[in-house]
Structure 1
Amino acid sequence: MVPSLSPADCSVSPITFTQTSHSTHSPSPTSLAPPILPPSTSLHPMQTRLRTGHQKPKLLFDLLTVPQSVETPTSYNQAIKYESWRNAMSAEFLALQKQGTWSLIPPPTNKPILGCKWVFKLKTNSDGQIDRYKARLVAQGFNQEHGINFNETFSPVAKLPTIRILLLLALHRNWPILQFDISNAFLHGDLLEEVFMKQPPGFVDDQHPQYVCKLHKAIYGLKQAPRQWYTKLTQSLVQFGFIFSKADPSLLIYTKSTVQLYLLIYVDDLLLTGNDSSTIQSLLHMLRSTFSLKQLGSVDTFLGIQIHKTTNGLFLHQAKYATNIIASAGFTTSKPVSTPITLKPTKTATAAQPFADPLLFRRLVGSLNYLTITRPDIAYAVNSVCQHMHSPTNADFLSIKRILRYLQGTKSYGLPLLSGNMQLTTYVDADWASDSLDRKSITGFCSFIGSTLVSWCVKKQVTVAKSSTEAEYRALSSATSDILWLRRLLAEFGLSQPSPTSIFCDSTSAIALAHNPVFHARTKHIEIDYHFISHHIQHGAIAVHHINSLNQTADILTKPLSPTRFAELRDKLTICSSNA
């Protein structure tokens, strides 16, 4: 028998983990000799292994001698067989008890009772070594009913440009960058509604097996859990003296005399930078007294983004994540290609047939989409395959294979952050009626602070443009909206932009329309965009300039390109190898 897990201070005692009984001594694998067979009287000519005596020896193992598995279990029944996962479940259960997450009560009448399950995750370091075995008890919140056991659910998370700008600010001012997360973050949130849940598998109270858990604290899986955690954390920070950023509510700012601190929240992962070490230590002491901090130290990996210091600044990349995507798709031995998308799609008899495994297609697309956080060079190609997730074809999967083959040769590529000039500039472009199915245009723009790329966008336009001028003008309007937000955010970081932000566009007609109220039959329906852009030109927020199409950096975000042109624009985006 494996010893039961019995926390000393728990009001709910876990049940005993049991396995099939075995002898005291665990036998080693044993080979069984082939049996002696009687003479066969069958006249059938087929010779089987049973007849010839060439049976493969059977290997008998004692379950208690099976080595610890490094594979992640998908169910409680799989995890219970291994000590590492049993310990992980016990640690999670103790944390729940310590937080006073629930109390056991008789099942209420006419109240929905949620189920729960264990979810397992094998945490690894950036070098791929096992860090820890993590078990999480998750409520089955998909059965919650609005107005009964949940109401509001929205919780902000940090925008990715905000993360890049925070790192760039700390680099520019030579401030330390600290990262930390909070253990069992969601368990700190206080529930406002009555929520009932079944007792967790493996930890059912022996004396009251029919009782249910009345939740006092939020738990993972509940719809309102992220919101309640965010509220709990920000309340503590506001009491310390932080205020919310108006541009990004997940950014909190502390300003007192000459002291400046910036704290960025992404669920339970936090980034902190500032110019006063004593205030930082006071803040960390306050957080430790309320929450359980872990992984405190200089920034290394944040949200799966590996952050390396270089002689010139910082380098952001997702090489480990890209390697995992390629391995999961079975392309570790594939031949690299020079571009992530072909100039002309493949047309074969089977290309239009539905892809046999749409779940695999969607999983790969989702993974590739997250990879674009540091790889804008694949943003257009990933945007193209994202449009076919509802009903992928064989041709669509070939497009994914092309992206994976491109990544095979560029796994170490990433985004450098360089200090220096902090002036904001933007490049914007559009590809008119590029989609042959719906004839909608593609908008692409990218924004730099100095020589550092901080924001970019690839997006299909909502409506069909009647002319290339209209498509470019729509793209210019989208880029202006993003610039205005970036200018507000930079002002809160103390990086105000006193001069108008330069926008580089290669369409002379769109630029003319932005400066002059010339409306006729082909442009009068975009008058709202004109007033929006013209207003900010007149007020000095933006300045639109013409640029030659050959120098248009945003061109890589709107269309497939030849290998030479693609490599040229990728260099302009500053995407390069970590070994460069």
Structure 2
Amino acid sequence: MPCGYGVPIISTIIIMEIIKEALVARKENVWIVDSGCSRHMTGLVKVHFKKTGSKIFYSCGDSVLNISRYARVFKADFDNPVSPVITCLVAKFDKDVMFWHHRLGHVGFDHLTRLSGLDLVRGLPKLMKDLDLVCTPCHHAEMVASSHAHIVSVMTDALGQLLHMDTIGPARVKSVGGKWYVLVIVDDFSRYSWVFFMATKDEAFQHFHDLFLRLDLEFPGSLKRIRSDNGGEFKNASFEQFRNKRGLEHEFSSPRVPQQNGVVERKNRVLVEMARTMLDEYKTPRKFWAEAINTACYISNWVFLRSKLGKTSYELRFGHQPKVSHLRVFGCKCFVLKSGNLDKFEARSTDGLFLGYPAHTRGYRVLILETNKIIETCEVSFDEASPGFTQVKGLDCDETFAPVARIEAIRLLLAFAASKSFKLYQMDVKSAFLNGFIQEEIYVKQPPGFENPDFPNHVFKLSKDLYGLKQAPRAWYDRLKNFLLAKGFTMGKVDKTLFVLKHGDNQLFVQIYVDDIIFGCSTHALVVEFAETMRREFEMSMMVELSYYLGLQIKQTPQGIFVHQTKYTKDLLRRFKMENCKPISTPIGSTAVLDPDEDGETVDQKEYRSMIESLLYLTAYRPDIQFAKVPLFRDNTSAINIAKNTVQHSRTRHIDIRFHFLRDHVEKGDVELQFLDTKLQLADIFTKPLDSNRFAFLRGELGIIHPFGMV
């Protein structure tokens, strides 16, 4: 066809199915097509429709083309143009809709045409919606995932035909069994579920394989399909080989479309929400999340309905209704019957914590608080109204140990201060444990009489320690340690309670025993500065000269430091009701005979042990002499020879192997055995009954003086 002005001529225009709403009727029975046609042409023409014929006119009124009609189809005659001027007609894209769509911030096309058609805003021209318009930026920015219609029909007609699988995890807290993940498997027909706990995801196949074997015995040949996501724990060689061997069909959901695996995804959500709720009820530690999920799965199988079938999952699998009278509140306190050979007056039960139901036995899973072990038993009674339980180490608090200064370290510091001729001072931290920051999540009940009226059922979450918490000493030690390190102190490599601050040629020594702090330096100004630093950070007592510390009475003089335990000794006598007893010059008479008294009164073992331990502390301040090689003096030649002899013989067979420990150190050179005359054996003062003269002699050899002989 000929062209005008370099633009191709459209030879034929066919207009089909003219929509009545797009036409405006006139009195002279003329139909004018609104911009639906003319705007897609040059924008300068109009089309008039009449019964006898139709024409296309310029906007100025001149004719362009004649149009003939065939039923509801219209044909423009380009072979016989009415206008003598050669005209080029082209299809024209209406930029107005897209232009205003961009200008108005990519508002929706439906909303844009509605604003235009109803004249709801001024300055907006009449716009027509075009279904073919596509805005690329809108697709980039506003595209969302497709909706997935809920399946209302039952896809299977028997148990075991289709299994849905998915994993949960990793958990943020490792379970008590050392697991991080959960494998969840759901039967499509009954919605009966199984959960398996895994340390790593690659354990998933073995759990599935074991379950398949059990189900194959229960429902022979029923399993036809398995469905999972594209995770590596399912999409691997093990599953593929097993699938090919058993003739199974493995269906995978589309990547990043969990809705296609919706059955097990919804089950995951239900189990996690149930477990989270059960853990929260009694504030059970989160490390028991696996027990909570296992219990949630157990309960869901017994009580949840398969809505389309009107029966529980348990009934659909086993054929009879479940009984729930044995169910108990997760995390409640319980009492477990003790077993074994018990004393007549020993308690018959121990406290426990209910943690669910065993998989293959009839009973309950219970945490024994005394041993921190989980057992399965049916000999248990429950207290489901108990508000909670006390803290148990390893259960709801892990780190409870806090380093404290050893008595040997105190003696060394006293000796060092005496050698350098400087005084030691003492300060106490008031309410020390309230300064510690705890790492665990701990909640406490609102104190009676101080409940929040707006939230009477809420609990408080602790941000700092309280007295009574088992981790309070550790938290306080960490707080004080970090504070001192930040101030430039260095911590001892062996003694973690000794901190040293170097200031030029001077050194400030700080020794910590929980909230008691002793410190000293040859420069008094540095001591005062340290005391002020502590007062600015903590509430402290006044700085005083060290005079009493851990049962030791200390007197600091220019000649040296004197240490004694007079007050501690008197307190012991008062505690054990012996303050009115007659004193003797030796711990035990030289003529005493230690034979069992068959007719005597039975000694209280607890009181006796307490008495012995208290007496042992009386010897704690005795100075020790330490060497690189420790000499041991023995007044028995045979014992020395046995220690030096590396070969066992008939005379040493009766000696337990642990007593050869000394001989090992002789071989290593750590210990040197030397013979000593019996008269000079200082150890006799601790092991033998002595007369007063020999006792006084050995006491003097140990460097200990009589308190009443002190000037």
> Normalised by the size of structure 1, how large is the TM-score?
0.49
TM-score normalised to structure 2 length: 0.41
Asked which structure has the greater RCO (Cα within 8 Å, sep 6+), the reply is: 1
Question: Rg: which structure is higher?
Answer: 2
